[in-house]
Each structure stands twice: as structure tokens, then as C-alpha cells.
Structure 1
Amino acid sequence: MSLSPSSARSILETRQARPTLEGAGVKLHRAFGFQDPSELDPFLLFDDFRNEIPADYLQGFPWHPHRGIETITYVLSGEVEHSDSLGNTGSLGAGDVQWMTAGSGILHQEMPRGNASGQMHGFQLWGNLPADQKMCAPRYQDVAAREIPEITDDDGTHVRVITGEFWGKRGPVDGIAADPQYLDISIPAGVTKRIKIDTYRRAFAYIFEGAGAFVDASAPQGVLLEKEVAGQEVNIRDLSGNRTLVRFGTGDEITVQAGPEGLRFLLISGAPIQEPVAWHGPIVMNTKAELQQAFKDLRNGTFIAPAH
């Protein structure tokens, strides 16, 4: 199968998410974060918090501040109870999404709770805010699983559209600075799928079930090579599996072929902000002076803006 190199995205990098301790000792895997913020601008960090041992996640993420970013939490199993300095409380269950715009500043906590079998699984993505929105009023968008559009194509490919537009459906989360597209895609075994992405967006895929191969347009002729997997000959170039991040170059589409057990991955893209980043812990501003002011506000008790 040959693809036009002018349209297919190259693969800049594939890498495994790394084990990390976060919060009060939660064991998770981090696909990217606290490195080069220009790599996946406007996205800053992506965590996969998946565990079957309650002692490894129940201490959760106690009270902590955010300013200048948005956090996107997507729960697959278990629950995440949350509360914040504005008086909001709630619980995210399987399939639910929360998009929190920290803006000028918020204090909140997130406490994972496993399902009946003790399993907990979800993702958190940090999105940057442009300079003119970093000090906007904080807000939440809590979206129940039933509100998220789901589409099944003729070949069995299934997509949940969390935000952005895809195959004629629009996700329920809106008003996000980076105008992102956030898709949860499942592809049956052996199926090859071409998926359109806006040319001007930075994009990445994160595989969390099964395995598959993405076409690399920078490979010779942009082709998938032959390889035998589990006794079956399938067209693949690089079979990537659980907890793999795939970072794409420019172009207007990707092509992926699911392996013999099928493939499920997140496909996330957004318009780059292309502004300076001053980043320390949970606070992301444009300048060192703004960062220093944020921590001064924390010390002085002026971090949270009074309600209007």
C-alpha cells in the first residue's frame, strides 16, 4: 500500500510511557511532560494512571494549585472524586470526561477510587493556555459518558468523539483554547484505517490496548513492510503496543493497521500556541516574572481571585 508523502504524516518518534510517582505516591506512567514544551505544543503533559493495586493509587492527588493551563481527565474504569477552592465537588466514572480550565488560579484535589475489582484506569492531559487567556476565570466542563458521541464504521472501527469534529459528529467539550481534537479509537484486528487530521495541528497517538502499526511517510516510498506476527503475515512497519506514544510530523492524515488482537488508542491534536513557556510544577506562564508572581500569590493567599 503506497501513500502520497505530501499528505501522510511522518513519524517523528515512538516511545514508551515511563513509570512515575505523582501526587501522594500514585504510581502511573508518563508519556511526556516536563521536557521540551515545544514538542507537542499546545500540549504539555500526558499521564496514564492505570493500576489494579489500590494501595498504589488511593492516596491520590491531594490539594494542589494550577494556573495558566487546562487539565483534561478521561476515566475508563473506577472513579475520580474531585473538589476545588471554588466549592465544586463531583465524581467522574467510567467513560466520563472533565475539562478544567485553571486560568488565573485554582486549588483542587483528585482522589482515584477503583471499581469493584480494584481496577483504576484513566488519563490526564495538560493543555497550555495562550498569554491572553492565562488569567481568565477558572471553569469546569464535566461530561457524562452518555453525552459523548460514538460512531461505528462499516469495518467495525469505533470512535468516541470527546472534543472536536470527526465523521460528522462533534464532541460535547467546547470553548477550549487549542481547539483540540480528542478521539478514542478502536480498530478491529487486521483492519487498515486512514484518518484525517488538520494539517496545521500537532498530533500524537497513545496506544493503550492491543497493538498496531502506523505508516511512516518518511520511510522508503511511505510503505508498510511485510512481517509475520503470531503466525499471520500482516503488513506492518513497526508494531507498537501498550503504553506507546507515537508523535507525528506534518500532513493531513495518518494510516494505521491493527495487529492480530485489534488496537485501541487515543488520537489527540491541537493548534500550536507558539509562545514562550515558563513552567514550574503545576503552574505554566509565559515569563519567569509571571511564574514568580504566581508563587508569591500562593504564599500571600492571593492566588485565588475573588468571585465576581
Structure 2
Amino acid sequence: MSPSGLGQYLKPFVFLDFVDADAAIARGINVHPHSGIATVTVIPEGNLQFDKGEWGAGVLDYGGVEWMRAGSGIWHGDEFQPGPAERFKAFQLWVALPAELELSSPEWQFVPSTETPGVGPARVIVGTYQGHRSPARSFEGLNYLLVTLAPGEGWIYETPPGHEVGWLGVSHGSLSGNEAFVAGDMIAFDKSTAPIPLTAGPDGATFVLGSAIPHPHELVFGHYSVHTSQEALEKGEARIEEIRPHSAR
């Protein structure tokens, strides 16, 4: 998903990347900037080490989350290193911030897997689901779950009121709903608040699912930034240049 493509339909969700790779790739991630968005990194298989100084250090594995609010502008990409696992899978999601937060002070938050609440087979990565709230300091009206189903297991996502935007991405196995989905697929749902019934295939399924209240603004984007106006984008890009690290000059 990209901001100029499916992100236009699923905003505030504007970008999704799925990585299935040797852990060594984590050493080669280039430092790059963002503004106007938050990024959410979750690992459905394997693990990575993270170290962001005052923001924390440790290991991110299944059910843990990196919530990074770029706000007015940051550079990142150096916080992860290979973990104990030889391979890992990861989803990185970009979320367009509300207008009142798009130029806010940047922050990182690493939530270990032991602190993300479970609701049946789902872990609440971001937001609130059935009374269980993630510690990630996200804005209201946004949910992001990591779900693992046993072979043949059924599950229904009870869509919260107002969450007309919804999608899922499959990491492992297969799912059936109105149609069949397999590992590597991303599915955008019709805009609705209806419950979403899903059933795992013979190998089970692991997937992420997002739902949200629709983002009310047109998307204005630069290379790594997404904002609600040209003026906000220019401020974000100016701040990015102001704090550009020497290694990226």
C-alpha cells in the first residue's frame, strides 16, 4: 500500500510494507526521514533487537510494537539490529496523523510483547478492542491487531462504531471470508462497520488487521512525509533538513 494508491482509500492507513528476510538485513537499513505520520512496526515471526537510547532498548518479538510518531520531523532507521532469530517477518505501517498532531514533537515508544493485551486470539497492538487498550500512545479512532488462528479456527472482528475503514495483511497460512486469502495478500474491506468473520485454513493463519475512523483530510505527501496541507508539508520538510544527521548529508 502506498499513499498515492490504496492509501487514498484506506486513510489514515497510508503505507504498508511486509518484510520476510534473514535477520542480517536489519544491519543495512538506511537512515531516512519522516514527518506528519506515525510508523508502527510489528513482528509476527522471529525477533529484532532495538536500541534508541533514552527511548529504550531490548528485543521486539511477537506481540511487541514500535510506535514512532514522526510529527514535525525525524530521522530513523538505525534503531534495529539482528536479534536471536536467524529470520524474521515484519509489517511496517504508516498512519497519517490528525491535523493537531502532524507537527507535534516526535517520540518513540517500544511496547514489549508482555505488555500488549490479548483478546482471544488477537493482540491489541494499537488502540482499544473490546475494552482492552494497548499501551501504545496512539490517537483515538485507530485499531491495529495481530491475530493467530489455529487450523480451521473461526474468529469475528467486531468492528467498533465509526471504524468504516478496514483491511488485513496475511503473514502466514491462509484465511477464508467472502473469498480466500493467503500469505502475502493484503485485503481492503468495503467501507462499513459490519462485523468481519474469518476462518483459518488447514495450516492456520497469522495476520494483522487495521480499522479506523476515516481520515477527514486530503493527503499531501512528499517522499517520506504525509500531511493534511501543503503548508504543513513545507514545515515538516524544512524541519527534516534542519535536523539532517551528518551521516545523511
Task: Please list the CA deviations of residues 110-159 of structure 1 after superposition, one character each: whole Å capped at 9, or x if unmatched.
Answer: 3543344521222211111122221112222211111112244xxxxx22
User: In the alignment, is the contact (CA less than 8 A) between 1:65 and 1:108 conserved in 2?
Assistant: yes
Correspondences of 1:280-295 after superposition (within 5 Å): 280-295=222-237
Equivalent of 1:64 in 21, 26, 32: 32
1:131 match: secondary structure: coil
Which consecutive residues of structure 2, in runs of 5 or more, have no partner in the other structure? Answer: none
Residue 253 of structure 1: how far off its partner (Å): 0.5
Letter aligned with residue 196 of structure 1: E
Structure 1 pair 244/269, CA: closer, same or farther in 2 (3 Å)? same
**C-alpha distance in 2 between matches for 1:143 and 1:116:** 18
Cα gap change, 1:296 to 1:264, in 2 (>3 Å): closer
1:146 to 103, 106, 114: 114
Matches within 5 A, 1:203-242: 203-215=166-178, 238-242=179-183
Find the counterpart in structure 2 of residue 180 from structure 1. 142
Q: Contact (CA 8 Å) 1:277, 1:285: kept in 2 or not?
A: yes
2:22 partner letter: E
Q: Distance in 2 between matches of 1:239 and 1:276?
A: 32
- For residues 290-305 of structure 1, the aligned pairs below 5 Å read 290-299=232-241, 301=242
The CA distance in 1 between the partners of 2:153 and 2:92, in whole Å, is: 28
Q: Is the 2:149–2:206 Cα contact (8 Å) retained in structure 1?
A: yes
Q: Provide the TM-score with structure 1 as the length reference.
A: 0.70
Task: Tell me the secondary structure at the aligned position of residue 132 of structure 1.
Answer: coil
8 A contact 1:148–1:161 mirrored in 2: yes
Alpha-carbon shift at residue 279 of structure 1 (Å): 0.6
For the structure 1 residues 275 and 190, does the alpha-carbon distance in structure 2 shift closer, same or farther, using more than 3 Å as the test? same
SS of match in other structure, 1:275: coil
TM-score (norm 2): 0.85
Residue 196 of structure 1 is matched in structure 2 by 158
Amino acid aligned to 2:189? F
d(CA) in 2 for partners of 1:279 and 1:243?
26
Partner of 1:27: none
> Distance between the aligned counterparts of 2:236 and 2:157, measured in 1?
41
For the aligned residue pairs, the C-alpha RMSD in angstroms reads 2.5
Q: Provide, for residues 1-60 of structure 1, a one-character-per-residue CA deviation record: whole Å limited to 9, x for no partner.
A: xxxxxxxxxxxxxxxxxxxxxxxxxxxxxxx11423321111111111221373x44311
Q: Give the C-alpha shift of residue 181 in structure 1.
A: 1.4
Q: Distance in 1 between matches of 2:49 and 2:14?
A: 22
More helix as a share of residues: 2
Q: Structure 1 residues 162 and 102 mapped into 2: Cα distance closer, same or farther (>3 Å)?
A: same
1:112–1:69 CA distance, 2 compared to 1 (3 A): same
Identity %: 23
Matched, 1:94 2:61: yes
Q: Does 1:163 align with 2:104?
A: no
What amino acid does structure 2 have at the position aligned with 1:258?
Answer: A
1:119 and 2:119 correspond: no
Aligned match of 1:130: 98
Contact kept in structure 1, 2:103 and 2:236, CA below 8 Å: no
Listed as ranges, the gaps of 5+ residues in structure 1 are 1-31, 153-157, 216-237
Compute the displacement of 1:303 (Å). 7.5
Q: Is the 8 A contact 2:75 2:240 kept in 1?
A: no
Q: Deviations over 1:249-308 (max 9, x none)?
A: 113201112111112211111112220221112212223343334334444x2689xxxx
The SS at the match of 1:58 is helix
